[in-house]
A and B are shown apart, each in its own frame.
Chain A
Amino acid sequence: MADENPVKVNYLDALTAGLWRENPTFRLLIGMCPPLAVTTAVKPALTMGLSVIFVLVCSNIAISLMRKLLKPHLRIIMFTLSIAAFVTICDLYLRAFAPLMSEILGAYVPLIIVNCIIIFRAEACASKNNVWFSILDGIGSGTGFTIALCIIAGIREILASGTFAGIAVMPRGFVPWAAMQMPVGAFVLLGLLLGLSSLLTAKRTN
């Protein structure tokens, strides 16, 4: 396509940007509900992350395909419609093939619809770029989000129950931190991690 930048480096960039430089959770601070809500254990967090990757990639493809036909005032409704459709499919899939995870995640699966990451990527990337670029961007951002979820969930699960993805890792006699399972643990831990991330960024720029 003539109107897009065909430089190859850009494609690699699209894939890696979401991992750290534009990490949705740690750097852009968007889509903050799941990192707090579904991170009591690693498995649900991973399931959530994969669902978000699926929805993000699919909706990026759909929106990228229709980007030349979009009318300005109907843009947002088209975005939401595609996202909601893919989330419904994802929810059905989870209920059919991962009933346990679907139950743990509960209402947080349909809440992917209003996850700012997806609509943000649709607006900032998919509605301006071609399909391949949008797919890579979706995978990149989604993976960044999943990694963030898993880091938080890993720390919380280890401290709250002494296990990682269900496997005991802490020595015997470890006293679980009940607070990590509660909302307070989620908020404070995410706050500290954000502080850490801004500390790292500040160091790098100096």
Chain B
Amino acid sequence: MDRAYILIMGFLSVVIVNNFVFTKFLGTCPYLGVSGRLDTAFGMGLAVTFVTALSGILTWLIDFYVLVPLGLQITRYICYIVVIAGAVQLVEMYVKKFFPPLYKSFGIFLPLISTNCVILGLCLFINIWGTDNLLEVAVLSTGTGFGFAVAICIMAAIRENLIMVDVPESLKGAPITLITAGLLTLAFMGFTGMIK
């Protein structure tokens, strides 16, 4: 019961309260670039969730069972980024072979994902938080990816409506998106303190 409580709270915490996009500014590039339409944003969100969960778990396992026992923490960053790049490649090949329609819909985002800061950021933060069991790592990684998906979908839905609004010429595109994102962070700040 206690365990389940920690897991649920951890999940809600990374999705809502400590959303990586709104509190740690990670993944801002795709957040600005791919949030033009709701369906592409959704595809991107799903792809990121999947890769984040996979690489979060893999990097934690490598860190816990290989790097720390061998005292190789110094090569941590290199290992993380190679694992992430590998995971992205793997997912791409797998989806291409077994789910061609799915590949068509979000395959184009996959190569972009390896430079998405959310993923590397999560691997680093898992380490900083000192999470020490696999289940928690899995829940937190999935939650982080999910949080990104939520953020980008909200933004895409807003931007679809922004098209009909008379925005000053110089603010069109990225600037108004950033300002909107700022207001969204304000809204999300209302959640601070509900869960630590």
- Chains A and B touch (C-beta atoms under 8 A apart): yes
Interface residues, chain A, with chain B CB atoms under 8 Å away: 29-33, 36-37, 76-77, 80-81, 84-85, 87-88, 91-92, 106-107, 110-111, 113-116, 119, 182-188, 190-192, 194-196, 198-199, 202
Contact of A116 among B29, B124, B171 (CB under 8 A): B29
Q: Is the interface of A mostly helix, strand, loop or mixed?
A: helix
Asked whether A184 and B186 contact (CB < 8 A) given A33-B26, A81-B82, A107-B125, the answer is yes
Q: Chain A residues with Cβ under 8 A from B168's Cβ? A: 195
Find the B residue at minimum CB distance from A198: B170
Do B23 and A183 touch (CB < 8 A)? yes
Do B170 and A33 touch (CB < 8 A)? no
Q: Chain A residues with Cβ under 8 A from B22's Cβ? A: 183
Do B77 and A88 touch (CB < 8 A)? yes
Complex CA distance for A29 and B34, rounded to whole angstroms: 13
Do A188 and B178 touch (CB < 8 A)? yes
Complex CA distance for A199 and B169, rounded to whole angstroms: 8
Asked whether A187 and B77 contact (CB < 8 A) given A37-B24, A77-B85, A106-B128, the answer is no
Contact of A195 among B32, B74, B80, B175 (CB under 8 A): B175
Q: Is the interface of B mostly helix, strand, loop or mixed?
A: helix
Q: Chain B residues with Cβ under 8 A from A106's Cβ? A: 128
Do B85 and A191 touch (CB < 8 A)? no
Do B178 and A191 touch (CB < 8 A)? yes
Q: Chain A residues with Cβ under 8 A from B26's Cβ? A: 33, 37, 111
Complex CA distance for A85 and B80, rounded to whole angstroms: 12
Do B115 and A114 touch (CB < 8 A)? yes
Contact of A192 among B74, B81, B179, B185 (CB under 8 A): B179
Contact of B120 among A37, A113, A185, A198 (CB under 8 A): A113
Q: Which of A110, A183, A199 has the most CB of B within 10 A?
A: A183
Q: Chain B residues with Cβ under 8 A from A114's Cβ? A: 81, 114-117, 119-120
Complex CA distance for A183 and B177, rounded to whole angstroms: 14
Closest chain-B Cβ to A186's Cβ sits at a distance in Å of 7
